[in-house]
Amino acid sequence: MKAIIHNLQDSSIKPYEEDMAFKAAYLFATMLVASGDSSSIAFYKHIYPEDAPLRRQLMLLEINSFPDPAWRELVTSIPEWRKQLKKWNDIKHPTKAVLVARKKLLDAIKSNYLLVRNHALDHFPKRAFLLLGDLLTEENYAHIDSDYNNRELQDDNYSSLSSVMKVTIDKESLEGDFLFLLTDNFFLSEAATAIKMQENLEGIEEMNPHLVSLFSFPDLNQYKKEELQSLRQGILAQLTPFSEAVNNWIAGFAQKEKSGTEQKQKTEQVYTQAKAVEQVLKAHVLVQQMAKKNREVELVLGAVTATTVWQYFRDVGAVPDETWEVLSNAVDGEKLCPVMALRYVDRANFYMDEENEELLIPTEKKSLLID
């Protein structure tokens, strides 16, 4: 089970919900797959390290400058810096003055680069990616990159966002155990209003859209890194049969001719294994300690049309115009696709305003380091 968590920076999916999804994927999935800007914090730490090459330093300054006029002026100067540096680099025997000027510019670029990079890391220490830290490895974490300036760019470095959106109706991807893990925002969206939420398997028609609650757990954003690790270890034995059942259920969506009876049996297997996970989870001391806070989250399993997922991401601002144009012309949008979602049992008990920081772009003014 590879859970895709998708978000874009200006969407209405806030850090609190996104972090909840990251932590749930860490606990219950075999792999967390970040898409869009949901992996941006990871970029600051890994793609943009302190000793990043000049190319990446300039790239970060271009896409994440501070919003005051002086910083915007700095960004517009970057093409000229590239030309000047190339000119200096082409000089076979540079003078001392050229070397000094070149070093001064490179030092200033790096200082501003570190200012932007470290501002993000220092101001968002509670973000799930940073909190989980080394608990995310190559074995349980991956990200799908889309180009910041052109979400439909498809090349060796980037995947078009429309191709990501179509993952869960793509035969090879379904056989590879991929599904979207949606945040609680989904249940507030118009796209989900026509789908009745079921508390058990009774009344589910496998060949029609449906959603069913598997089990509940406490607000994961209340746990520290070590506590999340302890929860994962506590349910590890039950996760293997649960994941196998989910993967078998996902694979059913790849079949051209689906049998409602066969797919229902697969759903029943997932439900049975989910209850086994729930039983062990509820017995964990960390879960029992949080029980009195009435901040429960349900893990929901469902089959919805691809257009429902696409429309949801469009409504929350996580699908831009160029991607929506491609998806609007897709001929296979009415296919059912597998999803999981996180649903707040009582939203009134979730106070998210303190956590709803802006995702990435800093808003306060910083002093420039370019003369």
- Compute the mean pLDDT over every residue in the chain, rounded to the nearest whole number: 86
SS (H, E, C) 276-295: HHHHHHHHCHHHHHHHHHCC
Which tens digits make up the pLDDT trace of 274-288?
999 999 999 999 999
Sheet holding 336-344, edge to edge: 141-144, 31-36, 2-7, 178-182, 336-344, 296-305, 210-218, 197-198
Given a cut of 90, is residue 340 above it in pLDDT? yes
Whether the Cβ atoms of residue 170 and residue 337 lie closer than 8 Å to each other: no
Its sign, for the CA torsion 287, 293, 295, 298, is positive
Range of lowest pLDDT (105-114, 122-131, 258-267): 122-131
Q: What pLDDT, on the 0 to 100 scale, is given for residue 66?
A: 62
Helix (H) or strand (E) holding 144: strand 141-144
| Residue 128: pLDDT band with limits 50, 70, 90 | confident
**What average pLDDT does the segment 163-171 reach?**
89
Whether the Cβ atoms of residue 50 and residue 121 lie closer than 8 Å to each other: no
Helix (H) or strand (E) holding 297: strand 296-305
Given a cut of 50, is residue 317 above it in pLDDT? yes
Whether the Cβ atoms of residue 5 and residue 140 lie closer than 8 Å to each other: no
The CA distance from 168 to 339, in Å, is 8
The letter for the amino acid at 183 is: T
What are the Cα distances from residue 253, in Å, to 36, 206, 208, 336?
A: 24, 11, 12, 7
Whether the Cβ atoms of residue 196 and residue 211 lie closer than 8 Å to each other: yes
| Residue 65: pLDDT band with limits 50, 70, 90 | low
Q: What pLDDT, on the 0 to 100 scale, is given for residue 371?
A: 46
Helix (H) or strand (E) holding 89: helix 78-89
The CA distance from 112 to 71, in Å, is 10
Burial class (CB in 10 A: 0-12, 13-18, 19+), 353: exposed
Given a cut of 60, is residue 235 above it in pLDDT? yes
Range of lowest pLDDT (55-69, 90-104, 307-321): 55-69
Burial class (CB in 10 A: 0-12, 13-18, 19+), 205: exposed
Given a cut of 80, is residue 101 above it in pLDDT? yes
Per-residue buried b or exposed e for 33-47, using 16+ beta carbons within 10 Å of the residue's own CB: bbbbbbbbbbbbeee
How far the first Cα of the chain sits from its last, in Å, is 52
Query: How many percent of the chain have pLDDT more than 70?
Result: 89
Number of neighbours of residue 106 by Cβ within 10 angstroms: 15
| Residue 365: pLDDT band with limits 50, 70, 90 | very low
The CA distance from 57 to 110, in Å, is 7
Helix (H) or strand (E) holding 304: strand 296-305
| Residue 324: pLDDT band with limits 50, 70, 90 | very high
Q: What pLDDT, on the 0 to 100 scale, is given for residue 84?
A: 93
